[in-house]
Structure 1
Amino acid sequence: MQVQQTEPLGESAISNAVELAVIGLGYVGLPLAREAATVGLRVVGLDRDPRVVDGLNSGRSHVDDVSDEDVRRMLAAGFVAYTDDDCLTRAQTVVICVPTPLNGDGGPDLSAVTAAVHAVAGRLRRGQLVVLESTTYPGTTEEVVRPLLELESGLRAGQDFALAFSPERIDPGNTGHGLRDTPKVVGGCTPSCAARAVAFYGKLVDTVVQAKGTREAEMAKLLENTYRHVNIALVNELAVISHELGVDLWDAIRCASTKPFGFQAFRPGAGVGGHCIPIDPNYLSYKVRSSLGYEFRFVELAQEINRRMPEYVVRRAQDLLNTAGRPLHGSRVLLLGVTYKPDVADQRESPAVPVARLLRQREAEILFHDPHVPEWCVDDVPVPRVDDPMAAVAEHDLTILLQDHSSYDLPALADAARLLFDTRGRIFRPGVEVL
């Protein structure tokens, strides 16, 4: 039952030396802590990994979008990272930014969230604001987080403390949109909770969008990424169909993109990777399946299509070698770019892994190059790295461009390669196979 309250919860009930504590100092939590420190808030961070904590306290960043210089400025502003939960006691606001991977059943693994909530509950004080930013299914804040906080603290959300959900919208490597100029969606358990959360995020971002409640804010995050997941699956299936029909899908996308309304371009690839698109739609599928008893068919189909793209890429690679008179078995194959998106070091859910695994199963000899990845293992087996991609493409039977990092001179690589398979649609010239 929600407790309605007409006046926002104030911060006068607590007087602490810290205005923000961030739990989870990864790709979401660390940029949030940086922005808060930049605007003058007193910030502490909590992370279970002592290597992360030691690195940050020594001025070293482990996140692509946060530089070492950024961390040094945070430290100069008073930021300290901890592994000890006691740092939460002094905070006016606590924001939870821990991972929510998939469990064995395909649903969200909330163990990190519940561990963070237990840590907060044991130190919860009247007047504090608690915000969950970790992506999850609609209902998590009300059905999981709120009961744990209230049961263990004896306090009531909306009366004694404020509780809200605000989905993270971090896009690693995006230099055009950062935390400040990306609108922040906020949903509170009660109107007073929402007011507190809106006021807090208003210090950090230019635009705060208030959702009707926590469930709507949770659904907004899943809608954003499910939209992308489904549309990427559409163009991935079109890539397969278009190749069989003799249609240049890339040119069709270029032409369709000239329409000034009613169309947004999505492009095919070797699969989908990263922290959001391959993972987040599963939370919604899980919720539909567990609560309603049937499947979210759009998401299930998109997952099926996107999961089979690495196999399609390897099949196309095999056909390309066969046409050149070489079997895939025993061929030397160079993979260029093994991260999930250009110009970052992030390898989470990268389709390069299943592509490499399938090539190994077919007994091809694989090597890789990536300017952002000094070492790479697939199934705990190291993949040899070449130092000079320009020289290597001339020595390998086939080169597969999996990620188009800006440091690659793609025309020059195409000229030097024996065979080049471009899965990114960047090199259109005779002799180059394009997905």
Structure 2
Amino acid sequence: MRICVVALGKIGLPLAVQFARKGHRVVGADVNERVVADVNAGREPFPGEADLGRYLAETVGDGRLTATADTAAAVAESEAVVVVVPLFVDEAGTPDFGWMDAATRAIAEGLRPGTLVSYETTLPVGTTRDRWAPMLAEGSGLAAGTDFHLVFSPERVLTGRVFADLRRYPKLVGGLDDASARHGVTFYERVLDFDERPDLDRPNGVWDLGSAEAAELAKLAETTYRDVNIGLANQFARYADTVGVDVGKVIEACNTQPYSHIHRPGIAVGGHCIPVYPRMYLWNDPDATVVRAARDANAAMPAYAAGLLADAYGDLTGAPVLVLGAAYRGGVKETAFSGVFPTVEALRARGAVPYVSDPMYTPEELDALGLPPHRGEPVTAAIVQADHAEYRTLGSSDFPGVKVLVDGRRVTDPARWTGADRVVIGAPAENVPGEGTGSAR
């Protein structure tokens, strides 16, 4: 097949490479000329995606994958178009369709009869049918579901392990109509591979959910579930703090029962998905009180962590505090909705002088993100915000001036922090030994 992938970001580029590795001719379209140049040169435009560099060089080298900034021209030469353009929402959950509208108009300009268009960007329920179908039809002069096929098929992968996740999970497809769904299922069966999953009660592979709306809701539901689950875990952790119980042991015990799947509590929920899609769901369903309460609970955790630090340290006015981790999760160079931003603000609100360090970012990169980089200044307290593997071996000897450490991710080794009070969200003092000068629980 001839395939166009629109937007060569951290999901779109691995998808384009995957399709090309299956033997198809793929053109990636992106408005960023630097990304286009990098891809055509076989260079990774961003770091951290397992196997991407090797696979990219391989598929570009043999001519199966090319890139262009001309979306309409790429679509005109393609039998299938996969759209992975970002959709942004504000704090109220209102979507900003600007980038996706522009991309959809460009797709419509090049759309030919018989083409399959698949949107993989997470969308509010109803968007494929009510927004994209009319826009594509108007711009192309073709009838959706008759002259061209339209499906929604959500991406279900994590950056850093996209190729593995593409094999691991069923691919969900929802069509505008039955014919669109059949074309969508056939397409994904030809471009993806799937691992055997004996734990599933249905075979792994491509699943037709019956409608575009069902597929849209499936993506929002599975991600919103995670946010609600984490919100519940954070509520348990905050209560555990008041009664001197280690919530980690409680959750571990609960999850030995097959109907309990409680997630881990922590300082923040970040990334492109978990903190964003519940707000998108609320845009569809504003009466979803459980979803709203969980989102509020998770959003309050950075300020709660700063409060734990103040309880153990004392007055933070003028105190230099190091925030360890700018990334939203360990091992990934990405700050989308990272907890680092509200953590820094919560520290400033208490009069502290915050600094940020991260093994994946240079001081100059942190400065460009609006974060105060740590350049070796003395600090007397620290908060772990990201669960980078490097933090497992840090200890008091690395930060001799630190009196109190708040570990927001349960990643540090208590044996290495004998020179400071170590505070863990949802853990009592006897489980986090320390010899510092603060009053850690």
TM-score (norm 1): 0.87
2:244 pairs with 1:257: no
2:352 pairs with 1:355: no
Pick from 63, 70, 75: which aligns with 2:55? Answer: 70
**Deviation (angstroms), 1:82:** 1.3
Pick from 422, 425, 433: which aligns with 1:432? Answer: 422
1:400 match: 383
2:326 match: 338
Question: Tell me, what secondary structure is at the counterpart of 1:426?
Answer: coil
Query: Residues 98 and 134 of structure 1 are in contact (CA less than 8 Å); yes or no, is this contact kept in structure 2?
Result: yes
Query: Residues 391 and 412 of structure 2 are in contact (CA less than 8 Å); yes or no, is this contact kept in structure 1?
Result: no
CA distance in 1, matches of 2:193, 2:225: 24
**Deviation (angstroms), 1:399:** 1.7
For residues 5-404 of structure 1, the aligned pairs below 5 Å read: 19-63=2-46, 64-65=48-49, 67-78=52-63, 79-85=65-71, 86-103=73-90, 105-174=92-161, 177-203=164-190, 204-206=192-194, 207-259=205-257, 261-289=258-286, 295-322=287-314, 327-375=315-363, 376-377=365-366, 381-386=370-375, 395-404=378-387
2:336 counterpart letter in structure 1: R
CA distance in 1, matches of 2:112, 2:297: 48
**Deviation (angstroms), 1:284:** 1.4
Long gaps (5+) in structure 2: 195-204, 426-441
Distance of aligned partners of 1:197 and 1:381 in 2 relative to their CA distance in 1, 3 Å threshold? closer
Pick from 396, 407, 413: which aligns with 2:395? Answer: 413
**Deviation (angstroms), 1:70:** 2.9
Give CA-to-partner distance per residue, 1:328-374, whole Å, 9 cap, x none.
11212111122111111011100111101222333322222212122
CA distance in 2, matches of 1:141, 1:188: 9
**Deviation (angstroms), 1:173:** 2.8
When structure 1 is superposed on structure 2, of 308-317 and 242-251 the one drifting more is: 242-251
When structure 1 is superposed on structure 2, of 66-75 and 163-172 the one drifting more is: 66-75
Question: Tell me, what secondary structure is at the counterpart of 2:167?
Answer: coil
Question: Tell me, what secondary structure is at the counterpart of 1:305?
Answer: helix
Query: Residues 173 and 206 of structure 2 are in contact (CA less than 8 Å); yes or no, is this contact kept in structure 1?
Result: yes
Distance of aligned partners of 1:222 and 1:82 in 2 relative to their CA distance in 1, 3 Å threshold? same
Query: Residues 23 and 46 of structure 1 are in contact (CA less than 8 Å); yes or no, is this contact kept in structure 2?
Result: yes
1:12 match: none
Query: Residues 187 and 213 of structure 1 are in contact (CA less than 8 Å); yes or no, is this contact kept in structure 2?
Result: yes
Question: Tell me, what secondary structure is at the counterpart of 1:168?
Answer: coil
2:429 match: none
Query: Residues 392 and 413 of structure 2 are in contact (CA less than 8 Å); yes or no, is this contact kept in structure 1?
Result: no
Question: Tell me, what secondary structure is at the counterpart of 1:421?
Answer: strand
Distance of aligned partners of 1:29 and 1:84 in 2 relative to their CA distance in 1, 3 Å threshold? same
CA distance in 1, matches of 2:369, 2:331: 24
Question: Tell me, what secondary structure is at the counterpart of 2:207?
Answer: strand
1:240 counterpart letter in structure 2: R
CA distance in 2, matches of 1:314, 1:62: 36
CA distance in 2, matches of 1:90, 1:213: 27
Query: Residues 406 and 423 of structure 2 are in contact (CA less than 8 Å); yes or no, is this contact kept in structure 1?
Result: yes
Query: Residues 116 and 148 of structure 2 are in contact (CA less than 8 Å); yes or no, is this contact kept in structure 1?
Result: yes
**Deviation (angstroms), 1:423:** 0.8
Question: Tell me, what secondary structure is at the counterpart of 1:202?
Answer: helix
CA distance in 1, matches of 2:74, 2:346: 47
Question: Tell me, what secondary structure is at the counterpart of 1:354?
Answer: helix
Distance of aligned partners of 1:20 and 1:175 in 2 relative to their CA distance in 1, 3 Å threshold? closer
**Deviation (angstroms), 1:89:** 0.9
**Deviation (angstroms), 1:306:** 1.1
Question: Tell me, what secondary structure is at the counterpart of 2:267?
Answer: coil
C-alpha RMSD over aligned residues: 2.1
1:262 counterpart letter in structure 2: Y
Give CA-to-partner distance per residue, 1:294-327, whole Å, 9 cap, x none.
x2111111111111111111111111211xxxx3
Distance of aligned partners of 1:308 and 1:104 in 2 relative to their CA distance in 1, 3 Å threshold? closer
Question: Tell me, what secondary structure is at the counterpart of 1:20?
Answer: strand
Give CA-to-partner distance per residue, 1:268-296, whole Å, 9 cap, x none.
1112100111101111111124xxxxx21
**Deviation (angstroms), 1:382:** 4.3
Distance of aligned partners of 1:249 and 1:346 in 2 relative to their CA distance in 1, 3 Å threshold? same
When structure 1 is superposed on structure 2, of 100-109 and 307-316 the one drifting more is: 100-109
TM-score (norm 2): 0.86
When structure 1 is superposed on structure 2, of 69-78 and 234-243 the one drifting more is: 69-78
Q: Percent identity?
A: 34
CA distance in 1, matches of 2:386, 2:222: 23
Give CA-to-partner distance per residue, 1:124-160, whole Å, 9 cap, x none.
1111110011101111111001111122222122221
1:384 counterpart letter in structure 2: P
1:125 counterpart letter in structure 2: R
